[in-house]
């Protein structure tokens, strides 16, 4: 791979892992503060740390990692970038980084403790929102640069289907751009004028709905790149092939269609949205189970086929034949296992009535640590183990591989402890996003008398997690600067599985059709309720600083 792409991708990954270590340190502080084991100095606030944790991990770590992964994969599968593609990727990266710095400075200086969902009427310093806007615009520029590279390839290869990696990248980019329209509208037309004092009040309901129009597909923006790892990378690592090219492409299309018109499932307890629209969006939410199970099915089909090729006999003999010692595979396999309870929990969250039980409790925190915090994050770790050495032309040595295995195992143990405790505490009723847990009340104190739900489990889990995160950073630094140089850097160390696209229907790559269908679904799910929110808007709210 040419050096410009290597530099681009490494810069993105470097920023991602810087955000990662600071973000996980905040996580460590949180578990101790919540348990009253740590008192913060007067100049530091729990909600400031929690905002940093959410923004650094859920927005910054994920996004920078994803673009680094996309840039390297697009160059690997479609060929070297032209000078324009390289230039615009840099422009986008610099804008994204500028936005990141701006938002981070605001959080650190205590001007924006509004949590990563920045719900109105809490009001941060206007420059926090400007930072967010720049962040999104920068990702768009990088997205358009990658889409441009893809379009050039298609022009030069008329009639051919694009490589699966590139196809999936374009699908993810389309999802991201459509999703961001909501948050960009809210930030530009509502938050910025309001925070700078040009407008006195904000339509709270509308701002939250625009946020969640973005916030739900955001989780698919994290998940789809992980799925690229599952569909395209893992089969090659274990020596197999993509199970079905058309199934893989169809599942990505379905994710675009069913992940956007569903944001109301985060607002089920909010007044001001008629239950009919909540119900409609709940049904659309459940449609996403279809491509999710398609993904699970095809992954296990790949595993079983390969295990049998390697001589596995009987019902489960193939399972033992899989290359468990290869941490590039084991990491992602464990990530998939975490997604089973993660996905099941998601169905509970999205269910109209059951949401009532878990809404805003620690259950939700338990949920997203076994969805984005492990299946997505650990897939990214697994990709990091070969991607950084590929980019730096170094060797992922045996010693580092052993450390990586320890890292994966400790992350899993820490997460099982922390997330199970959070799920259980949430069922008892413990709220999320609070700096304290006891409320000086015996009922609340009784939550912590269980084996899992005591004060210690979450803190022990969180501490193991932070140790694991530090170990990961040690491995990343070794792979970036200190591991021995490879004698010959081959494309092979960037695993891309063979995928037979001959039978794949051409319509799956007709983006106009799918963007059209997505927009129709969005219009059906949102037009009337959003028009309602604007037409029958209450007086609106001024800004509040709750910290």
What are the C-alpha distances in Å from 534 to residues 456, 527, 530? 47, 11, 6
Using CB under 5 A as the binding rule, the residues of this chain from 473 to 512 that contact Cu ion are: none
Spatial separation of the C-alpha atoms in residues 367 and 423, rounded to whole Å: 7
**Min dist. Cβ of residue 54 to ligand HEM (A):** 3
Instruction: Identify whether the C-beta of residue 430 lies closer than 8 Å to the C-beta of residue 437.
Output: yes
Of the listed 53, 149, 216, 249, which one is catalytic? 216
Which x/- pattern over 186-225 shows residues binding Cu ion (rule: CB under 5 A)?
Answer: ------------------------------x---------
SS3 state of residue 502:
coil
Asked whether position 372 contacts ligand HEM by CB under 6 A, the answer is: yes
Instruction: Identify whether the C-beta of residue 233 lies closer than 8 Å to the C-beta of residue 499.
Output: no
Asked whether position 132 contacts ligand HEM by CB under 6 A, the answer is: no
**Min dist. Cβ of residue 366 to ligand HEM (A):** 9
| Cα 103 to the center of its chain, rounded Å | 19
Residues near 376 by Cβ (< 8 Å), separated by ≥ 6?
A: 62, 222, 223, 226, 335
The reply to whether 367 belongs to the active site is yes
Of the listed 64, 227, 264, 368, which one is catalytic? 368
SS3 state of residue 434:
coil
- Beta bridge partners of residue 394, listed in sequence order: 485
Residues near 156 by Cβ (< 8 Å), separated by ≥ 6?
A: none
**Min dist. Cβ of residue 341 to ligand HEM (A):** 16
Spatial separation of the C-alpha atoms in residues 51 and 43, rounded to whole Å: 15
Residues near 468 by Cβ (< 8 Å), separated by ≥ 6?
A: 407, 410, 411, 414
Spatial separation of the C-alpha atoms in residues 226 and 168, rounded to whole Å: 11
**Min dist. Cβ of residue 225 to ligand HEM (A):** 13
Instruction: Identify whether the C-beta of residue 134 lies closer than 8 Å to the C-beta of residue 102.
Output: yes
When CB distances are held under 5 to 8 angstroms depending on the partner's kind, the choice from ligand HEM, Cu ion, none that residue 115 binds is ligand HEM
Which span (24-32, 72-80, 248-256, 445-453) binds ligand HEM, by CB under 6 A? 24-32
Asked whether position 34 contacts Cu ion by CB under 5 A, the answer is: no
DSSP class of residue 56 equals I
Asked whether position 166 contacts ligand HEM by CB under 6 A, the answer is: no
**Min dist. Cβ of residue 260 to Cu ion (A):** 11
Q: Which is nearer to ligand HEM, 11 or 30 (CB)?
A: 30
Residues contacting ligand HEM: total by CB under 6 A:
27
Q: Give the CB-nearest residue to Cu ion.
A: 216
Q: ∠ at Cα 378 (335, 232), nearest 5°?
A: 75
The reply to whether 220 belongs to the active site is yes
How many Cα atoms sit within 13 Å of 170 on the Cβ side? 24
Asked whether position 368 contacts ligand HEM by CB under 6 A, the answer is: yes
Out of 15, 16, 19, 27, the only residue in the binding site for ligand HEM (CB under 6 A) is 27
What is the DSSP code string of 88-128? Answer: HHHHHHHHHHHHHHHHHHHHHTTS--STTTT-TTB---HHH
The reply to whether 208 belongs to the active site is no
Q: Give the CB-nearest residue to ligand HEM.
A: 27
Asked whether position 373 contacts ligand HEM by CB under 6 A, the answer is: yes
Asked whether position 408 contacts ligand HEM by CB under 6 A, the answer is: no
Spatial separation of the C-alpha atoms in residues 523 and 43, rounded to whole Å: 46
Query: Which two tokens mark 227?
Result: 């799925």
Find the helix or strand (DSSP H, E) in which 147 lies: helix 126-156
Instruction: Identify whether the C-beta of residue 139 lies closer than 8 Å to the C-beta of residue 96.
Output: yes
Which residue's entry shows tokens 């295990």?
A: 307
The reply to whether 433 belongs to the active site is yes
Q: Which is nearer to ligand HEM, 35 or 89 (CB)?
A: 35
Q: Which is nearer to ligand HEM, 306 or 369 (CB)?
A: 369
Using CB under 6 A as the binding rule, the residues of this chain from 446 to 465 that contact ligand HEM are: 462, 465
Q: Which is nearer to ligand HEM, 62 or 244 (CB)?
A: 62
When CB distances are held under 5 to 8 angstroms depending on the partner's kind, the choice from Cu ion, ligand HEM, none that residue 465 binds is ligand HEM
Q: Which is nearer to ligand HEM, 58 or 178 (CB)?
A: 58
Out of 17, 116, 128, 318, the only residue in the binding site for ligand HEM (CB under 6 A) is 116
Asked whether position 335 contacts ligand HEM by CB under 6 A, the answer is: no
* CA proximity to 270, closest of 226, 188, 183, 205: 205
Q: What is the 3-state secondary structure (H, E, C) of 388-424?
A: HHHHHCECCCHHHHHHHHHHHHHHHHHHHHHHHHHHH
**Min dist. Cβ of residue 105 to Cu ion (A):** 29
Of the listed 76, 208, 249, 367, which one is catalytic? 367
When CB distances are held under 5 to 8 angstroms depending on the partner's kind, the choice from ligand HEM, Cu ion, none that residue 216 binds is Cu ion
Spatial separation of the C-alpha atoms in residues 62 and 58, rounded to whole Å: 6
* CA proximity to 95, closest of 144, 26, 58, 147: 144
Asked whether position 88 contacts ligand HEM by CB under 6 A, the answer is: no
The reply to whether 149 belongs to the active site is no
Asked whether position 278 contacts Cu ion by CB under 5 A, the answer is: no
When CB distances are held under 5 to 8 angstroms depending on the partner's kind, the choice from Cu ion, ligand HEM, none that residue 190 binds is none
Which span (53-61, 240-248, 260-268, 294-302) binds ligand HEM, by CB under 6 A? 53-61
Out of 4, 54, 307, 375, the only residue in the binding site for ligand HEM (CB under 6 A) is 54
When CB distances are held under 5 to 8 angstroms depending on the partner's kind, the choice from ligand HEM, Cu ion, none that residue 53 binds is ligand HEM
Q: Which residues are catalytic?
A: 216, 220, 367-369, 432-433
Give the residues lining the site for Cu ion (CB under 5 A): 216
Give the residues lining the site for ligand HEM (CB under 6 A): 24, 27-28, 30-31, 34, 50, 53-54, 57-58, 61, 115-116, 365, 368-369, 372-373, 377, 432-434, 462, 465-466, 469
């Amino acid at each position: 791979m040419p050096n410009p792409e290597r530099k681009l991708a490494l810069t993105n990954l470097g920023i991602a892992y810087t955000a990662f270590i600071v973000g996980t340190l905040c996580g460590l502080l949180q578990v101790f503060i919540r348990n009253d084991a740590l008192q913060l100095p007067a100049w530091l606030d729990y909600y400031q740390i929690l905002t940093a944790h959410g923004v650094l991990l859920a927005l910054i770590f994920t996004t920078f990692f994803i673009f680094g992964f996309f840039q390297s994969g697009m160059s690997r599968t479609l060929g070297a970038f032209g000078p324009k593609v390289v230039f615009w990727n840099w422009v986008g990266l610099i804008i994204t980084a500028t936005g990141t710095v701006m938002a981070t400075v605001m959080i650190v200086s205590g001007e924006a403790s509004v949590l990563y969902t920045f719900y109105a009427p809490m009001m941060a310093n206007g420059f926090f929102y400007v930072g967010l806007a720049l962040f999104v615009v920068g990702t768009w520029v990088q997205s358009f640069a990658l889409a441009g590279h893809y379009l050039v390839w298609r022009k030069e290869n008329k009639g051919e289907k694009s490589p699966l990696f590139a196809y999936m990248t374009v699908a993810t980019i389309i999802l991201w751009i459509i999703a961001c329209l909501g948050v960009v509208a809210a930030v530009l037309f509502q938050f910025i004028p309001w925070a700078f004092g040009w407008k006195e009040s904000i339509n709270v309901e509308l701002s939250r709905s625009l946020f969640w129009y973005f916030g739900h597909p955001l989780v698919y923006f994290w998940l789809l790149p992980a799925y690229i790892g599952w569909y395209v990378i893992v089969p090659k690592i274990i020596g197999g092939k993509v199970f079905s090219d058309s199934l893989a492409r169809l599942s990505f299309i379905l994710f675009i269609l069913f992940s956007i018109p569903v944001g109301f499932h985060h607002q089920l307890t909010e007044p001001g949205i008629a239950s009919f629209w909540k119900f409609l969006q709940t049904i659309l939410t459940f449609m996403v189970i279809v491509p999710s199970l398609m993904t699970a099915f095809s992954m296990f089909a790949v595993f079983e086929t390969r295990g049998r090729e390697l001589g596995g006999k009987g019902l489960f003999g193939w399972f033992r034949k899989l290359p468990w010692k290869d941490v590039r595979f084991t990491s992602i396999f464990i990530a998939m296992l975490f997604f089973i309870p993660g996905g099941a929990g998601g169905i509970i969250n999205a269910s109209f009535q059951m949401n009532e039980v878990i809404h805003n409790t620690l259950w939700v925190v338990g949920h997203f640590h076994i969805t984005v915090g492990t299946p997505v994050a650990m897939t990214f770790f697994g990709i990091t183990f070969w991607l950084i050495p590929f980019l730096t032309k170094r060797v992922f040595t045996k010693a580092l591989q052993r450390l990586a295995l320890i890292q994966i195992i400790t992350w899993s143990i820490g997460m099982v402890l922390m997330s199970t405790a959070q799920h259980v505490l949430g069922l008892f009723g413990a709220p999320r996003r609070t700096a304290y847990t006891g409320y000086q009340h015996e009922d609340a104190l009784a939550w912590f008398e269980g084996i899992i739900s005591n004060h210690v489990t979450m803190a022990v889990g969180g501490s193991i997690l932070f140790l694991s995160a530090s170990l990961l950073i040690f491995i990343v630094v070794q792979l970036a600067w200190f591991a021995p140089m490879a004698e010959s850097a081959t494309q092979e160390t960037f695993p891309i599985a063979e995928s037979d696209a001959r039978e794949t229907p051409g319509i799956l790559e007709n983006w106009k059709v799918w963007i059209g269908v997505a927009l129709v679904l969005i219009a059906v799910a949102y037009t009337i309720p959003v028009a309602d929110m604007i037409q029958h808007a209450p007086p609106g709210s001024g800004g509040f600083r709750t910290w």
